[in-house]
Amino acid sequence: MKKSASNTTKLTLSANQLPPLTAQQRAELDAIAAMPDEAIDYSDAPMLTDAFWQAVSLPATEQKTQITLRIDSDVLDFFRHTGKRYQTKINAVLRAYVDAHKNA
């Protein structure tokens, strides 16, 4: 948790380090899991027509290129300590840098 000069607290949620559920949250999830499908209220969910599903397209996956890269040990250690898929996180940081500088 970081505090900025404006006294704003920034929180980051990682899928690898989720906060523990409270007893109340666990009880609510257990109650939902025990609920039969017929008891679920779908009245506020919009109906999705066949036309909707025909218009859906999957995003194109970009081809990855395997390289050898020399980076500072402390930088590598930082990303490795973030957990699994640390290489994907490094790629995301590099992608954000490229996107920010493309539009500049």
Backbone angles phi, psi at 19, to 5 degrees: -70, 150
Question: How many domains, the chain?
Answer: 1
pLDDT of residue 58 exceeding 70, the answer is no
Q: Supply the pLDDT for residue 19.
A: 84
Query: Is residue 87 in a domain?
Result: yes
Q: Supply the pLDDT for residue 85.
A: 86
Query: Is residue 24 in a domain?
Result: no
Query: Is residue 64 in a domain?
Result: no
Query: Is residue 46 in a domain?
Result: no
Query: Is residue 100 in a domain?
Result: yes
Q: Supply the pLDDT for residue 104.
A: 65
Q: Supply the pLDDT for residue 5.
A: 63
pLDDT digits (tens, 9 = 90+) for 61-91: 778 889 999 999 999 999 999 888 899 889 8
Contact 86, 80 (CB under 8 A): yes
Q: Round to whole Å and give the CA distance between 81 and 18.
A: 15
Query: Is residue 49 in a domain?
Result: no
**β partners of residue 3:** 9
Give the residue with greater pLDDT, 55 vs 79.
79
Cβ neighbour number for residue 81 with a 10 Å cutoff: 8
Identify the domain containing residue 100 by its residue range.
70-104
pLDDT digits (tens, 9 = 90+) for 1-51: 555 566 777 777 777 778 889 999 999 999 999 999 899 888 898 888 888
Query: Is residue 88 in a domain?
Result: yes
Query: Is residue 92 in a domain?
Result: yes
